[in-house]
Structure formats: C-alpha cells, structure tokens
Amino acid sequence: MASTRSRSLVHLLATLTVFTAFAGQFWRNLLDWWGFGIIAGICILGAAVALAVLRPRLEGRRVPKALLAFVGLCTLSIAWSFYPAASLIGVGIQLGTAVTGVFLALCLSYAELIRALAAAFRWILVLSLLFEAWVAIVVRGPVLPFWVDYGEPPYPKAFYWSRGLLLDGGPIEGIVANRNLLGFIALLALLVFVVQLVEGTVRRGWAIFWVVVAAVVFALTRSTTVILALVVVAAALGFALWARSRGAERRRPVYLTAAASVVAVVVLLITLNGALLKLFGKSEDLTGRFDIWNAVIGLAQQRPVAGWGWMGYWAPWVEPFDGLAVRKGVTYLQAHNAWLDVWLQVGIIGLVIFIALIGSTLWRSWFAAVDRPRTGISDTDPYTARSLLPLLILAALLAQSLAESRILYEGGWMLVVALCIITKRAQYSAVEAPDAASAPVSSDSGRMR
C-alpha cells in the first residue's frame, strides 16, 4: 500500500511538473510571477527530494557527457558574462529545470513518463478549450493577463491572454497565451495520445477522444510554425518506419533518400521562399523574425567565441537586450531561433557543444526507434510504437527550434534533458544486455537500479 501511494505521489508530481513546464505562462498570468515562482519551486524541490529519496543510480559512463558539458559551460559563463547577476539567475533556472528532467528520466519508468505527459497535456488542452469558450461566450472580447498594467489601449495583439476568437475558428491562444506554444503542445499531445491508442494502454474510446481533442486544438491555433513541425515529424516517422522494414543491413536507400530530401527542401526554401510564405499567410520577414535574427547575429559577432553569458530567457532590463528585439510595441525575449540564441549567449564553443548534445540524443533516438528490441518480440508488440516517441518528440523540438528558442528553457529544455538521459540509458542496456529490452524501447520498469 505504501509503495502504491508513493508511486501515486511521484506520478502526481510528474504531472504537475510537466504541466508547469509547458504552461508556465498560465500560472504567471493567473498568479503573477510570485505565484508561478512558488509553484515552480515546489516542482523543482519535489523533484530533488524524489531523487534523494528514491536514489536512482546512474553509472558514470551512462551520464550524457555532452549534457554535462553544455550545462557546465553555461554555468562557467557567469565568470565572463556581460551581466553576471542576470546570468546567475538564468543558470539557476536552467539547473532547476534540468533537475526536473533528470527526475522524469530516472524516477519514472518509461510507461509512467508517457502517462504523466498524457495527463499534463490533457489538462492543458481541456483548460485551454474551456478558457477560450468562457472568453468567447461570456466575456465576448479579448482578455489581458491579471496583475499587469499595460497602460492605455490600444494594445498589441501579443499582450492579450486570449483574443476570444474561438467561435470565429481561431486562432486561439489557450491558457498558455500563445498560439504557437499551444499548437506545439497539441502536437506533442497528439504524438503521446496516438502511442497510447496503438498500445492499448488507454481504453480505445477515450484514446480516440483525446486524439480528436488534440487535433482540434492543433487546428484552432492555426500556427504555421507548428504545421511545419508536423510535416517534419511525419517525415521522421515515415523514414523510421521505412528503416524498420529494411532491417539493419539494407538501410542505405533510406539514408540516401533522407539526405536528398533535406537538400531538396533547402533548395526549395531558398528559391521559392516568397511563394511559400504567401501560401502560409506569412509576411516576407517571417513576422519580424528576420529583423530579430539580424540584430542577434550582429550582437553575437561582437563576442563570437564564448558569447555574452548564459541567460536563457532574455531579461529586457539588462544591456544589451534592452530594446534588442522590439516589434510593433512588443519586446521579445528570445532570438526566435535556438541556434542563434546559443551562439549569442555562449558563443561558438557553446554552439558546438549544443549541436553535439542534440545530435547525440537524436542519433540514439533514431536507433531506439528503428532497431527491434532484442527479445524476440513480434512486430505487433505495442512497445514498437512507444519506441518511436523520443525520435518524434525530438523531431518536433528541432523543427520548432528554427523559429523559436523554447528548446532552451521550460518544457523544451526539460524534455531534452529527460530524453538525453533515457536514450543514453537505453543504449547501454542494449549493449550490456542484448537479451533484455531497453528502457525507451520495450521496458515498463525502466528505472535505473
């Protein structure tokens, strides 16, 4: 009974942690930064306590070196930071978020992690629909966040918590106050819910219901960024399934086709970018992103090797970020490209390490997805669907990273840390115990012993 209760508490903490990491703006708009800080602190402290009590062991060789190197460099950057106080805060937030990722990876089995993700995403999607319905039907007008004085109207669109456009077919912002973020959460939820449907871990009727809810929210956000992320995820899924069908010795056509596809897409984007942007209803400057990117590149070139110092989210009151990215009265707190943001903050050194971190995690996720578990499990075993999830989530994060920097903080960073550790653990499980299923591939009890 005590063990069941403790696992229930771990699941509850994991669900709250995932919810807070992805819906932090909900807490900030509802309870101000102080309320958000208290809830985020509870999640981080709870994760640390769970790690201390459960004491999951992780052998040195199973610790992702690139992850340690990147976090270590960000921490060391305080020493040469142009804004050391802000860097100290940013590194503290990064480390706290990393602790939650480690908690998800080591204190939950892979099946428990999927259930926690599904539960948190359900809450975000349902609350978003209810909130948008309340704004559209009861308020009948746009709603601003609580506790913030924006002065006299008119206000930029980005200032509103919701613009109340649900009955008009969107776009909706949901409780997270951003249609791109809500659309991305809906995409991740769709991946998780489909896996649960295929595996049969949730009753079929409910599983189909939640897939439909995620698809509806995804459509209502009308986010071009997330539509493109869906295309990338679909391509990753197609190539992974093709690689599975070919077997380990006959995959050269898969890799050649994938490489040719990447080249073709790059050429298409360069030659037809104007037409493509018009097709998706985007301005030629990608809604101001070109101006932000140019400003970030110019600043990064002033300190190209080690950067200006880690911060994560930009602090708009700190030089040189004060006024760096302002468009139509809105001050943006990110480079809207994770790779440029890393270069700006920790230089070429940090960018190389970050590429190694993401690349190694993607590499392990690919082989976890395409190589069958070495246990004689049949092709219809439900775990084969589960093994695709790390690859598809990373594909979505990578697609998002080209237009957003969210992979560097909050939910994005938490998932990167968790998947990095999970795939590293699975890699050694497959090597050391070829007759036992690895954690993200086929294990329901994948905690470290």
What is the per-residue pLDDT across 104-124, written as a single tens digit (0 to 9) for each?
999 999 999 999 999 999 999
* 39-55: pLDDT as tens digits: 999 999 999 999 999 88
Sign of CA dihedral 63, 66, 72, 74: negative
CA–CA distance, 372 with 285 (Å, rounded to integer): 44
Residue 79's alpha-carbon distances to 62, 72, 75, 308, 309, in angstroms, are: 29, 12, 8, 10, 8
pLDDT of residue 59: 73
pLDDT of residue 249: 79
Tell me which of 38-42, 176-180, 190-194, 291-295 is least confident.
291-295
Distance of CA 404 to the CA centre of its chain: 10
Q: Counting every residue, how long is the chain? A: 449
CA–CA distance, 106 with 112 (Å, rounded to integer): 11
Domain boundaries, the chain: 2-442
Please answer whether residues 175 and 121 qualify as being in contact, where contact means their C-beta atoms are separated by less than 8 angstroms: no
**Phi then psi for 143, rounded to 5 degrees?**
-125, 130
The pTM of the full predicted model, rounded to 2 decimals, is 0.90
Residue 402's alpha-carbon distances to 120, 206, 276, 319, 358, in angstroms, are: 25, 34, 16, 25, 14
* 32-89: pLDDT as tens digits: 999 999 999 999 999 999 999 988 877 777 789 999 999 999 999 999 999 999 999 9
H or E element in which residue 331 lies: strand 330-331
**368 vs 274, residue with greater confidence:** 368
pLDDT bucket at 281, cuts 50 / 70 / 90: low
Of 24, 45, 95, the closest CA to residue 312 belongs to 95
Task: Find the mean pLDDT for residues 319-338.
Answer: 85
Give the number of other Cβ atoms within 10 Å of residue 278's Cβ.
Answer: 12
- Amino acid letter at 285? D
**361 vs 224, residue with greater confidence:** 361
CA–CA distance, 183 with 324 (Å, rounded to integer): 27
Q: What percentage of the chain carries pLDDT values higher than 90? A: 62
pLDDT of residue 272: 56
Average pLDDT taken over every residue of the chain: 86
Task: Find the mean pLDDT for residues 98-106.
Answer: 96
Of 10, 35, 11, 13, the closest CA to residue 24 belongs to 35
pLDDT of residue 2: 54
385: Cβ contacts below 8 Å, ≥ 6 apart = 194, 195, 198, 199
* 188-219: pLDDT as tens digits: 999 999 999 998 999 999 999 999 999 999 99
**34 vs 291, residue with greater confidence:** 34
98: Cβ contacts below 8 Å, ≥ 6 apart = 71, 413, 414, 417
**DSSP 8-state class, residue 162:** B
